[in-house]
Amino acid sequence: MHSRRIALLGSAVLLALCACEWNLWGTVVRPTVEDRVRESLSGALPAPDSVAVNPDSFCFAVFGDPQIGHDFQTSLARFKEEAAERGMDFFCVLGDLTNDATPEECDSIKAQLDRVGIPYYATIGNHDLYQADGWERFKQDYGPSCYAVAVADRIKLVFLDTADGTIGLTQFDWFESELQDTLLTRIVLTHFPVFDGERPVMWRLASGAERVKVQSLLERYGAYAWCAGHIHGWRHMQVGSVNHFTCGSMAPGTLDYGNPGYLLFRFAHGSLSWQFVELD
10-residue averages of pLDDT along the chain (280 residues)? 40 33 55 96 93 97 95 94 97 97 97 98 97 96 97 97 97 98 95 80 87 97 97 93 95 86 96 94
Contact at 8 Å (CB) between 95 and 64?
Answer: yes
With 0-12 / 13-18 / 19 or more C-beta atoms within 10 angstroms meaning exposed / middle / buried, residue 188 is buried
Distance between CA atoms of residues 63 and 191, nearest Å = 10
How far, in Å, CA of 216 to CA of 218, rounded?
A: 6
Residues contacting residue 242 through CB under 8 Å, at least 6 positions apart: 215, 218, 219, 223, 224, 225, 226
In the prediction, which pLDDT does 254 show? 80
DSSP assignment of 171-197 equals HHHHHHHHHT-TTSEEEEE-SS-S--T
* Predicted confidence (pLDDT) per residue in 137-181, tens digit: 999 999 999 999 999 999 999 999 999 999 999 999 999 999 999
Under 8 Å between Cβ of 201 and 210: no
Q: Identify the pLDDT of residue 196.
A: 74
- Tell me how far CA of residue 88 lies from CA of 53, 107, 276, in angstroms: 10, 24, 14
- Domain spanning 28-278: CATH 3.30.1360.120: no
Conformational region of residue 165, where left means phi above 0, alpha means psi within -120 to 50, and beta covers everything else: left
If DSSP codes are grouped into helix, strand and coil, which group holds residue 170?
helix
pLDDT in the model for residue 98: 96
Alpha-carbon gap, residue 93 to 90, rounded angstroms: 10
The runs of H, that is alpha helices, within the chain are 2-19, 33-41, 76-86, 103-115, 134-142, 169-179, 208-220
Strand order in the sheet with 147-151: 147-151, 155-159, 185-189, 225-228, 242-247, 234-239
Whether 240 contacts 199, CB under 8 Å: no
The strand pairing partners of 273, in sequence order, are 266
pTM of structure: 0.89
Kindly report the CA angle at 147 between 42 and 92, in degrees rounded to 5?
Answer: 150
Largest CA-CA distance found in the chain, in angstroms, rounded: 79
